Structure formats: C-alpha cells, structure tokens
C-alpha cells in the first residue's frame, strides 16, 4: 500500500529495495486525466526530498517535465533558482561560463539525454579552440561571443590560415566544476538519475609556481614606493599578505592599536554587472581572522591615519569621507585625496608600472601576498599560523602552495636534528 506523504504524492518501497515517489504533474488536456509521474531513489528520505521539490515547483508554477527540459533550460533554472547563499560575484562568474561555453555547445541537448561521451568531446574541443572573444555583429549591431582567431601564413604552403586558441586546463576544470554542480542539483531535483560528468577525463592542471620577490627586490620595491601615494597600501600588501579586496576594504574599526591587531572580516567587491559600483561582501571562505601586527606595520597604519587627517583639511568642503575623528574610527583606511574608497584599477596599474621599472614586470598584487607568506614561513612561522593569517582553508593547502619553502623548512629541521644528535654525543659513539 502506498503511503501518503505531505502534499499531492505518495511513496512506496519497490521489490528491488529502492523507493518510488508518485505525484500528479497536471491534467492531460487531451484526455482530461491526471498525469502521474514517478521519482526514484535508494532511500525513502531521498525520494521524499525529490517529491517535495517536484510538488513545490508545481505549486509555484515553475514545474517542467524532466524528459523535455534542455541543458539550456536547466542551467537557466539552476542559475536563477538554486543560487541562494552563493556570493553574487560567484554567480556572475558561473553565468559568464555557462553563457560563453556550455549553452552555445550543448544548450539544445535534452538534459536527460546528455551523455559522458558528449561532455568529453565538449571538453576536448575546448582544449583546441575554446578561447572566445566578444565582437559587434555588423548586421545586427549586437555584441556576440565568437571563437578567438588570428591569421598567419603557413610556412610550408605560403597560404594564410586561421588559427584558433585553446582554453587553459584550469579554465576547463572550472567549466567542468560548474557542470558537475548543476548536474548534481538536477539529480537532487529528480531531473536526472546520474551525473554523467563524473566519468570525464580532464586535461591535467599544471600548478603555477609561486614566485615571490627576493629580499633584494623587496628592498628595491620599498625604495621605489617611498614617495608614492599608495605607499602605505602597498606596504600592507607586502607585510600582511592581504588579498587586494581585503586591503582596499579595510576600515579603521579593523585596526586595534592597543592590542596591535588587525581584523579581516569583509572585502570590497565590484557589484556584478555594474563596473563602477562597489559594495562589501563576506570573505572568500566566510571566516573572519585576526592578524597580530609587527610594530613596523602599526607605524605604517599610524602614518596613514595622520595622512588622512591632513588630506581632509586640504580638501575642505570637497572631502567625502569622515566628518570628525569619531567617524574616522569606522571609515576606510585607504582613500583618495577627497576621502573616497580607492578604485582597484589605478592601484593595480600604478603597481605594474613600479614593478616594471625595477625589472620584475610579471609581478602583480598577489605577488606581494605570496611574498608575505614566503617570508613568514622562511622566518620560522608555523604553517598553521601562516594559514590563519592568509585566510586559507587549511594548513595543508598553504604548504601545497608554498612547497618551495616547506622544502627549506625540512632541510633546516634535519640540520637541527643533527645538531641535537651531536650534543647527545651519538655521532662520536658511532665513530668509536
């Protein structure tokens, strides 16, 4: 006997041990009879969850028959209805990847008919000509996404050929991760039975080597920014290892001069789709952290505080920051000459000019973060301390990223052990 669940549906156990949920998906307009649908799962709880999702979508008017929905239809639904709790910038990145790569290649395929070989071919093709660009259609005037190409002369034939550009292995991995997430959600919603992306073979992602600044280059960099308007911000990057959005989003309530600490609990991010607008967002891993600062960094922040007050006096009625010292306690730490929060674009552009002038054109903001982490590990900070200061999700990840430093730490550990052995006289006994 089928057991009634909450809502218009029933659940029963099948002879093979699996569970089935049945529900009414509407009325057949031709016969006038109820259209009955079934969902399946390994446990009662699994099918009950699928049943709740299906009946809820019917009640809200968003129900669609699983066998009819296309990849395009499902991804549009996934992006609009299943992103609760996902950061807006992440949703924007997902949407861009979906619209640029997944829908143009697979959008018309029925979701339930999507196969592993189809996906594998899709990933393989991205590794051949997956890089895209945007250009204006001369006939329609609309911006279109097209394959990025270039013309070159074939040295063997002398003919002009069209050259395509591959996507990196990391980008293909990112597209695959989005595909996998969307298909897993489709399984939970009872749209499909399995995630066909799980059996695909992806190109190997080669981890980029972390290249921090040497001590010599650090000194050159510090000298180069000695009179620069962003000097204090760049020094905070270099000695605190903050992400760009974390440093620019610092407010004075984050700095405790009495305890000598800095609290990182949010970041200053662009509003998706609105290039000129910014807002505070939670951190990358949603976990705040507190960093104990060196006296040198505290002096940098003290200097920045005094600098702001001087700029406020100079700006007069044009000042758009804090009004008094009490308000400054929660205002932005790094601002322009009229008190507005900094725009990351000129901060980055100025940095690139500086590092190019001192002979390290491949350095960027994150290079300073890498340098801070490398310095800390090299000077004996524990991986756990560095992990917490950087805001990594685990110490294992920190050591994986900074493996070149951990090798040095292992060598120093062996030397310390050897020194201990010699103090114990074990080496002499062995020689005797």
Tell me the pTM. 0.67
Smallest Cα–Cα separation from 252: which of 343, 312, 345, 325? 325
* Of 333 and 271, more confident: 333
* Of 425 and 203, more confident: 203
180 membership: H or E segment, kind and range: helix 169-188
For the segment 96-111, the average pLDDT, to the nearest whole number, is: 93
Alpha carbons 91 and 190: distance in angstroms, whole number: 23
Alpha carbons 229 and 312: distance in angstroms, whole number: 15
Tokens of 40: 């399946």
- Sorting pLDDT into bands at 50, 70 and 90, what band is 4? very low
Instruction: Give the three-class secondary structure for 214.
Output: coil
Alpha carbons 236 and 247: distance in angstroms, whole number: 7
* Of 429 and 131, more confident: 131
Alpha carbons 402 and 399: distance in angstroms, whole number: 5
291 membership: H or E segment, kind and range: strand 289-292
Alpha carbons 181 and 301: distance in angstroms, whole number: 43
Residue 208 has pLDDT above 80, yes or no: no
Alpha carbons 187 and 95: distance in angstroms, whole number: 20
Smallest Cα–Cα separation from 334: which of 257, 227, 230? 230
For the segment 161-186, the average pLDDT, to the nearest whole number, is: 93
256 membership: H or E segment, kind and range: strand 255-256
**For 141-157, what is each residue's pLDDT tens digit?**
887 778 888 888 888 88
**For 405-429, what is each residue's pLDDT tens digit?**
766 677 777 888 888 888 888 875 4
- Sorting pLDDT into bands at 50, 70 and 90, what band is 57? low
Alpha carbons 218 and 370: distance in angstroms, whole number: 12
Alpha carbons 420 and 432: distance in angstroms, whole number: 19
Mean pLDDT of the chain: 87
* Of 73 and 68, more confident: 73
In the prediction, which pLDDT does 178 show? 97
Look at phi and psi of residue 117 and say left if phi exceeds 0, alpha if psi is from -120 to 50, else beta.
alpha
Residue 344 has pLDDT above 90, yes or no: yes
Q: How far apart, in Å, are the Cα atoms of 414 and each of 131, 395, 402, 407, 420?
A: 47, 21, 19, 11, 10
Residue 204 has pLDDT above 70, yes or no: yes
Residue with tokens 């050929």: 161
Tokens of 18: 């699996």
- Give 143's strand partners: 136
Residue 241 has pLDDT above 70, yes or no: yes
In the prediction, which pLDDT does 132 show? 83
* Of 300 and 325, more confident: 300
Residue with tokens 């705040």: 288
In the prediction, which pLDDT does 2 show? 44
* Of 46 and 206, more confident: 46
In the prediction, which pLDDT does 64 show? 56
Smallest Cα–Cα separation from 23: which of 54, 69, 67, 66? 54
For the segment 129-142, the average pLDDT, to the nearest whole number, is: 81
Percent of the chain with pLDDT over 70: 91
- Sorting pLDDT into bands at 50, 70 and 90, what band is 58? low
Residue 317 has pLDDT above 80, yes or no: yes
In the prediction, which pLDDT does 146 show? 80
**For 9-47, what is each residue's pLDDT tens digit?**
789 999 888 989 888 876 655 555 777 888 888 899 888
- Sorting pLDDT into bands at 50, 70 and 90, what band is 388? very high
Instruction: Give the three-class secondary structure for 329.
Output: coil
- Over the Cα atoms of the chain, what is R_g? 29
Smallest Cα–Cα separation from 182: which of 76, 65, 59? 76
């Amino acid at each position: 006997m089928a057991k009634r669940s909450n809502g218009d549906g029933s659940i029963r156990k099948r002879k093979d041990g699996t569970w089935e949920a049945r529900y009414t998906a509407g009325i057949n307009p031709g016969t006038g009879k109820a259209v009955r649908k079934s969902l399946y799962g390994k446990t009662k709880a699994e099918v009950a969850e699928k049943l709740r999702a299906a009946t809820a979508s019917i009640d809200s008017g968003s129900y669609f028959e699983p066998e009819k929905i296309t990849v395009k239809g499902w991804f549009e639904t996934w992006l609009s209805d299943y992103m609760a709790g996902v950061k807006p910038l992440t949703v924007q990145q997902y949407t861009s990847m979906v619209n640029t790569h997944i829908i143009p290649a697979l959008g018309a395929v029925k979701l339930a008919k999507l196969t592993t070989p189809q996906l594998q071919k899709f990933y393989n093709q991205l590794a051949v000509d997956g890089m895209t660009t945007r250009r204006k259609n001369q006939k329609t005037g609309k911006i279109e996404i097209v394959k990025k190409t270039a013309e070159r002369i074939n040295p063997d034939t002398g003919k002009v050929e069209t050259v395509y550009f591959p996507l990196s292995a990391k980008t293909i991995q990112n597209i695959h991760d989005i595909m996998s997430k969307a298909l897993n959600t489709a399984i939970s919603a009872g749209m499909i039975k399995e995630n066909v992306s799980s059996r695909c073979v992806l190109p190997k992602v080669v981890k980029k080597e972390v290249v921090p600044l040497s001590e010599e280059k650090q000194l050159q960099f510090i000298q180069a920014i000695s009179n620069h308007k962003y000097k204090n911000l760049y020094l905070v990057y270099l000695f605190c290892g903050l992400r760009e959005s974390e440093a620019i989003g610092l407010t004075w309530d984050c700095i405790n001069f009495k305890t000598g600490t800095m609290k990182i609990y949010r970041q200053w991010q662009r509003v998706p789709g609105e290039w000129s607008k910014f807002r505070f967002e939670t951190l990358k891993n949603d976990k705040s952290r507190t960093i104990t600062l060196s006296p040198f960094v505290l002096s940098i922040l003290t200097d920045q505080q005094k600098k702001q007050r001087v700029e406020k006096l100079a700006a007069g009625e044009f000042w758009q920051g804090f009004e008094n010292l009490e308000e400054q306690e929660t205002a932005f730490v790094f601002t322009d000459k009229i008190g507005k929060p900094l725009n990351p674009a000129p901060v980055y552009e100025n940095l690139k000019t500086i590092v190019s002038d001192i002979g390290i054109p491949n350095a960027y903001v994150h290079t300073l973060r890498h340098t801070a982490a490398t310095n800390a590990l090299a000077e004996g900070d524990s991986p756990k301390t560095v992990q917490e200061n950087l805001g990594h999700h685990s110490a294992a990840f920190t050591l994986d990223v900074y493996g070149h430093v951990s090798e040095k730490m292992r060598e120093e550990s062996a030397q310390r052990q050897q020194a201990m052995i010699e103090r114990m006289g074990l080496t002499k006994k062995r020689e005797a």
